[in-house]
Amino acid sequence: MSSRIPLPYPRKVLELFKNPKNLGRMEDANASAVAGSLACGDMIAIYLKIDEGKNIVEKASFESYGCAANIAAASIMTEMIKGKRLRDAWNISWKEITEALGGLPSVKYHCGVLAVGALRRAIRAYFKDKNLPKWLPEELTHEEKHALEEEKLMELLYRKNDSGKV
Ligand code: FES
């Protein structure tokens, strides 16, 4: 018998985990980004189709190798940003995502943070060869730093493990 205690996920999380919306690579995306690391399995890719004239998110999709919370967070986030101005999509916070899911166990907050980190990277990538709008901060936000820190940590652990091999 397993001694593991299941996490208290709200129904919405379980629903979206089983039937995620906007799952899959987007072939006609004009912005995309990856956050996290495959080494630990927590990796997410975000794809955006942006209306260049209006700066509106026409479509959004994702691929996730994260946990149920990450899949649900990315799924609801892609729903929330569809039809939004880029500026408003940028301002979506992991707390809003968590609320829309009906809450997440605190050990799973980072799954939503990672989703927002990937979204913000994708928006930055979109502006790579364009003039930066005033609302886009030059400094990385908390969510982007979080993604970066996770990646660095995983790289370090991966190297350590690798160098320990005989
Ligand atoms: Fe890391 Fe959910 S994405 S535990």
> Would you list the domain boundaries of the chain?
11-163
Q: How far is the CA of 64 from the centre of ligand 1 (A)?
A: 10
Residue of higher predicted confidence among 158 and 42: 42
pTM of the model: 0.90
Q: How far is the CA of 67 from the centre of ligand 1 (A)?
A: 5
pLDDT at 161: 73
- Topology annotation, domain 11-163: Sufe protein. Chain: A (3.90.1010)
Q: What is the 3 state secondary structure string of the chain?
A: CCCCCCCCCCHHHHHHHHCCCCECCCCCCCEEEEEEECCCCEEEEEEEEEECCCCEEEEEEEEECCCHHHHHHHHHHHHHHCCCEHHHHHCCCHHHHHHHCCCCCHHHHHHHHHHHHHHHHHHHHHCCCCCCCCCCCCCCCHHHHHHHHHHHHHHHHHHHHHHCCC
pLDDT digits (tens, 9 = 90+) for 56-95: 999 999 999 889 999 999 999 999 999 999 999 999 999 9
Around Cβ 123, how many Cβ atoms within 10 Å? 22
Nearest ligand 1 atom to the CA of 69 is: 2
Pocket of ligand 1, beta carbon within 6 A = 42, 66-67, 69-70, 108, 110-111, 114
Q: Where does the pLDDT of residue 121 fall: very low under 50, low under 70, confident under 90, or very high at 90 and above?
A: very high
pLDDT at 6: 74
pLDDT digits (tens, 9 = 90+) for 10-36: 999 999 999 999 999 999 999 999 998
Residue of higher predicted confidence among 105 and 157: 105
Nearest ligand 1 atom to the CA of 67 is: 2
pLDDT digits (tens, 9 = 90+) for 133-165: 999 999 999 999 988 888 888 778 777 777 655
pLDDT at 3: 58
Q: How far is the CA of 6 from the centre of ligand 1 (A)?
A: 15
Q: How far is the CA of 121 from the centre of ligand 1 (A)?
A: 18
Please report the sign of the dihedral spanned by the C-alpha atoms of residue 64, residue 65, residue 66, residue 72.
positive
For 114-142, what is the mean pLDDT?
Answer: 95
Q: Where does the pLDDT of residue 166 fall: very low under 50, low under 70, confident under 90, or very high at 90 and above?
A: very low
- Model confidence at 52: pLDDT above 70: yes
For 97-124, what is the mean pLDDT?
Answer: 94
pLDDT at 2: 52
